[in-house]
Amino acid sequence: MVEPGAHVITDGLISYENMPNNTHEPRVVSGQKAHEILHWVHRVFSNLKRWAKGVFHGFRQKHIQRYLDEFVFRWNRRRHLRTAFDRLLGICVGLAPATYRDIVEHRA
């Protein structure tokens, strides 16, 4: 979410042009293309989209923060599978069961 009235400096991607109430200033930093400079950023978003489509068949706006929280949790532990599993078990043991309503109303 971009705050209304913000001055946005981007790499010139056309999708940024349609932001209402903002000043858009595309700026080329070097002669390289964005996917060359921001290789890992593009990789993370590609993985996020693939994961969302494969696991949830897309995102629902209502739950997007929860989806992103789970993705970040998994991403930060991607190289330590055993540790991630142990940590997840520890988290589960320490929490009371959550109903769908608890999750939707952010009580869990």
Is 108 a residue whose pLDDT tops 70? no
**0.85 exceeded by the pTM?**
no
Q: What is the pLDDT of residue 35?
A: 72
- For the chain, the C-alpha Rg in angstroms (whole number) is 19
Residue with the two structure tokens 């999708």 = 15
Q: Could you give the dihedral angle defined by the CA atoms of residues 86, 91, 92 and 98, in that order, rounded to the nearest 10 degrees?
A: -160
pLDDT in tens, 81-94: 788 788 888 888 88
